[in-house]
Structures are given as C-alpha cells and as structure tokens.
C-alpha cells in the first residue's frame, strides 16, 4: 500500500483523486455536520453548543477541501482559510460572552436565559 505523498513527488503537477476517496470524505463531512447539528440542538451547556458549531465548521471545511480536490482547484482550500478566520473570531467573542453570562447567573445552562425570548 503506497502513501499518497510519495506518489505526488514526481507525477503531474496535480493528480486526479479516485472517486471513492472523494465520496467517502464527502459522506464523512455530511455525518460530522449531522452530528454537530444534533449536538447543537440537544446540548444545554452554552460552551458545548458553540463547540458543536465548530464541529459543523469542520464538516464544511472538509467538504470544501474534498470538492476542491474533485475539481482540482485550490479555491476550496482557500475557503478553509476564511472558515478558520471566522471560527477564531467566533470563538473569541462567543467565549467572552459566555463568561459574562456565567458571572451573572453562575450556571452554563442556556435555559437560565430562556426568559430573554419574550
């Protein structure tokens, strides 16, 4: 069994991917997105809800890279750079907010803030 990096060394500048490999990666991205969605809906801990959105970001990034591989184009990977940027900005702000909320009510449960929806 060969390691792909070794195949890369002196082949064409860009090689095509085997359909099954791209497909299994796209299905993995789909599964991760679904699990992240389930986590976001079922978790009550505010920090973990944000962590589940990060899981969905991961799934989107994986799909971008897999589709980029399929079209043999770098734009998919570039999009992942922007996903990383947004995820980092989101983590900084969301966690700052969560700490603020935690200091008010001494709990991480999102239901402590359910009265905000009125």
Query: What is the three-class DSSP state of 41?
Result: helix
113 binds other proteins (CB under 8 A): no
15 binds other proteins (CB under 8 A): yes
Q: How far is the CB of 116 from other proteins (least distance, A)?
A: 16
Contact string 53-72 vs other proteins (x = CB under 8 A)? -xx--x--xx--xx-xxxxx
DSSP assignment of 57-97, as one string? Answer: HHHHHHHHHHHHHHHT-SHHHHHHHHHHHHHHHHHHHHHHH
Q: How far is the CB of 118 from other proteins (least distance, A)?
A: 18
105 binds other proteins (CB under 8 A): no
Spatial distance between the Cα atoms of 25 and 67, rounded to a whole number of angstroms: 9
74 binds other proteins (CB under 8 A): yes
């Amino acid at each position: 069994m060969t390691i792909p990096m070794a195949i890369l060394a002196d082949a064409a500048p860009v090689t095509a991917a085997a359909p099954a490999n791209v497909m299994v990666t796209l299905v993995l991205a789909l599964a991760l997105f679904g699990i992240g969605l389930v986590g976001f809906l079922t978790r009550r801990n505010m920090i973990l809800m944000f962590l589940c959105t990060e899981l969905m970001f991961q799934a989107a990034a994986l799909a971008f890279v897999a589709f980029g591989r399929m079209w043999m184009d770098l734009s998919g990977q570039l999009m992942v750079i922007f996903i990383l940027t947004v995820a980092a900005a989101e983590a900084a702000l969301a966690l700052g907010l969560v700490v603020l909320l935690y200091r008010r009510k001494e709990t991480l449960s999102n239901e402590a803030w359910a009265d905000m929806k009125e």
